Amino acid sequence: MNNELQKNGDDRSPGEPIVEITAMHKWFGDFHVLRDINLTVHKGERIIICGPSGSGKSTLIRCINRLEEHQKGRIIVDGIELTNDLKNIEKIREEVGMVFQHFNLFPHLSILENLTLGPVWVRKVPKAEAEETAMYYLEKVHIAEQALKYPGQLSGGQQQRVAIARSLCMRPKVMLFDEPTSALDPEMIKEVLDVMIDLAQEGMTMIVVSHEMGFAKSAAHRVLFMDEGEIVEENIPVEFFENPQHERTKLFLSQILHME
Partner 1 sequence: MVDSSQSIQAEQLKPPITRIGVIGWLRANLFNSVFNSFLTIVTLYFLWKIVPAFVRWAFIDSSWNTTGAACRAAGGACWSIVAKNFRFIIFGFFPYESQWRPLVAMILLFILLLLSSNRRFWRKWLGYAWLIGLFAMGLLLKGGLFGLSSVDSTKWSGLPLTLLLSVFGLTAAYPLGVALALGRQSRMPAIKSLCVVYIETIRGVPLISLLFMSSVMFPLFLPEGITINNILRAQVAIILFTAAYIAEVVRGGLQAIGRGQYEAAESMGLNYSQKMRLIILPQALKIVIPPTVGILISAFKDTSLVVIIGLYDLLKTTQSTLSDPRWMGFSIEAYIFIALIYFAGCFSMSSYSRRLERELYRGN
Contact 18, 78 (CB under 8 A): yes
CB of 222 to partner 1, least distance (A): 23
Q: Taken in order 241, 242, 245, 248, is the CA torsion positive or negative?
A: positive
Q: Taken in order 1, 209, 93, 152, is the CA torsion positive or negative?
A: positive
Query: What mask, x for binding partner 1 by CB under 8 A, covers residues 49 to 88?
Result: ----------------xxx------------------x--
Residue 20 binds partner 1, judged by CB under 8 A: no
What one-character-per-residue DSSP string does 57-116 give? HHHHHHHHTTSS--SEEEEEETTEE-SS-HHHHHHHHHHEEEE-TT----TTS-HHHHHH
**CA torsion, ordered 157, 163, 164, 170, to nearest 10 deg:** 170
Residue 96 binds partner 1, judged by CB under 8 A: yes
Residue 98 binds partner 1, judged by CB under 8 A: yes
Residue 232 binds partner 1, judged by CB under 8 A: no
C-beta closer to partner 1: residue 7 or 87: 87
C-beta closer to partner 1: residue 153 or 254: 153
When binding is defined by CB under 8 A, the residue of 34, 63, 105, 143 that contacts partner 1 is 105
Residue 183 binds partner 1, judged by CB under 8 A: no
Could you tell me how many helices (H) and strands (E) the chain has, helices first? 10, 10
C-beta closer to partner 1: residue 33 or 96: 96
Residues at the contact surface with partner 1, assessed by CB under 8 A: 65-67, 86, 90-91, 93-94, 96-98, 100, 102, 104-108, 110, 117-118, 121-122, 149-153, 166-167, 170
